Amino acid sequence: MMCDRIGIIQHGQMLSIEDVHQVSTAEDVVPHRFDVYPVEAAVRYFASRGMTTVQDKDLVVQVRQKDVPNIIRGLVQADIDVYGVVMDKETLEERFLKMTGGAKHV
């Protein structure tokens, strides 16, 4: 990588200077990909807890990182096999759009 920090400017004003490798905190709600079986049972598990899921290759759920261990325990107790959980990382473009108010300004 050629740089380690980025500056986000909107309408001539510096909004933020961030580390390119900035990671989410345990309190941030971010998408996590759950590789589980059976998927239908996992969808019902998340729905019963008020969590919305999106089914891609894996099941994608918006959760806080600190809640993931309890979610895994709950899935296993519900006889749902968990093969992996991966936190999706925001791209630089996604970070820019979030800070500047989204795609409507691009």
Can you list the residues of the chain whose pLDDT is less than 70? 1, 21-27, 103-106
Q: What is the pLDDT of residue 103?
A: 58
Q: List, for residues 40-56, the tens digit of each pLDDT value.
A: 999 999 999 999 888 87
d(CA 104, CA 87): 27
Q: What is the pLDDT of residue 26?
A: 59
Q: What is the pLDDT of residue 22?
A: 65
Torsion of CA 93, 101, 67, 76, to 10 degrees: -60
0.85 surpassed by pTM: no
